[in-house]
Amino acid sequence: MYRNSNGSCTYSIVRSTSNADPVVTGKIYEYGTTVALKTTGAIRVDGKVMGKTDAEGKFSFALQPGTYRFEAVGIPYQTFETQKIKVESSDSIKLNIYVKLYKNPLQ
């Protein structure tokens, strides 16, 4: 588990021998619960939105091999950024991200 002041994240990587693009799947939750985001959230990679959450907080997208930090964003939640994760060809990455609410969303 990776944790910082804005939330926490668990992830797993399943490696494969095929040459397909890596796929990232997961879910964004409210911190300290198993409750999905109550608003639409998104996952950014290098500042670019790669996937948006559905009504259950789930997301899925493909990307090129590389080393990335994934950001979970959603109003009125704090942005959470993972540690760097190395993604190789054909990897399946599962992220579970837990984000904290802003104490005062107007700040």
Domains and CATH numbers, the chain: 2-99 (2.60.40.1120)
User: If we measure between CA atoms, which residue out of 103, 32, 24 comes closest to residue 63?
Assistant: 24
Q: What is the pTM of this model?
A: 0.86
Tokens of 38: 């109550």
Mean per-residue pLDDT, 3-22 = 87
Amino acid 4: pLDDT:
80
Q: How far is CA 35 from CA 14, 42, 65, 66, in A?
A: 25, 16, 31, 31
**71-103 pLDDT, tens per residue?**
999 888 999 999 999 999 989 999 999 999 887
Q: How far is CA 56 from CA 52, 84, 99, in A?
A: 11, 26, 15
Higher pLDDT, 21 or 103: 21
**22-50 pLDDT, tens per residue?**
999 999 999 999 999 878 899 999 889 99
- Quickly state the pLDDT bin for 104 (edges 50, 70, 90): low
Radius of gyration of the chain (CA): 14
